[in-house]
A = this chain, B = another copy of it.
Amino acid sequence: MASIPDVSAFMTAAQPTETKGFIMQQTMVRVKDPIKSLDFYTRVLGMRLLVAKDFPEWRFSVYFVSPRHDPLPESAEARWQHCMTTPGCIELTWNHGSEEQPGRVYNTGNADATGSRDGEPVKGGFGHIGITCPDVYAACERFKALGVEFTKSPNAGGMKGLAFIKDPDGYLVEILPHAYDRATGAMPTQPVDCNGVALDGGEGYKDNSK
């Protein structure tokens, strides 16, 4: 590919009939300690546990969380269907016993050495999950007050108005606005962010994409 390709055809192609009803329902990540992760995804990110399922014979459990907060159906079957038809759930997988291992357990995907045998960084494919919200700066003030770890506050780095925080396993969570600022046609910004970084400060571009 000598240059950036024209991809407009992928915006206009008709949906294949056989794929009607397909839902992008889950992103699965392994977590060391389910209580720490569930606390983070529910209390900090405002999600709810929709379904928990244990497989003691295979020594793992899975937990589906989502920002969805409408009433959960009564029966286990209906609750499963409710979850399986909710787009964008996160499936937290806990391998029993991992919570007793020292340090981080799983490679996060971002040039991280965790989980490699030689202690060298791995060129990972997974980057992050991303949460959009009405006000990135207010969300980040709250994350900061809750003791959340940042890798980029909204005014740091080259992209102003978005942030990256870490979940308990070190997975990156991007925090983005729902919409651009109408006046500027860019992400809304504020003069100073939760870390005291000014809009014209905060170093250069911090690359999370490579």
Identify A182's interface contact among B29, B43, B52, B77, CB under 8 A.
B77
Question: Is the Cβ of A13 less than 8 Å from the Cβ of B42?
Answer: yes
State the copy count for this chain.
2
Query: Residues 130-155 of chain A: 1 if any B CB is under 8 Å from the residue's CB, otherwise 0?
Result: 11111000110010000000000000
- Answer yes or no: A195 CB below 8 A from chain B CBs: no
Question: Is the Cβ of B126 less than 8 Å from the Cβ of A109?
Answer: yes
Identify A126's interface contact among B29, B52, B133, CB under 8 A.
B29
> Which B residue's beta carbon lies closest to that of A176?
B84
- Answer yes or no: A192 CB below 8 A from chain B CBs: no
Question: Is the Cβ of A85 less than 8 Å from the Cβ of B178?
Answer: yes
> Which B residue's beta carbon lies closest to that of A93?
B209
**Count of A residues near B, CB < 8 Å?**
108
Interface residues of A in 1-32 (CB under 8 A from B): 1, 4-5, 7, 10-11, 13, 15-16, 18-31
Q: With the chains together, A65 CA to B120 CA distance in Å?
A: 32
> Which B residue's beta carbon lies closest to that of A105?
B123
Contact A25-B176, Cβ < 8 Å, known A43-B16, A50-B11, A125-B126: yes
Q: With the chains together, A15 CA to B43 CA distance in Å?
A: 8
Contact A22-B46, Cβ < 8 Å, known A107-B125, A130-B91: yes
Expressed in whole angstroms, the minimum distance between the Cβ of A27 and any Cβ of chain B is 4
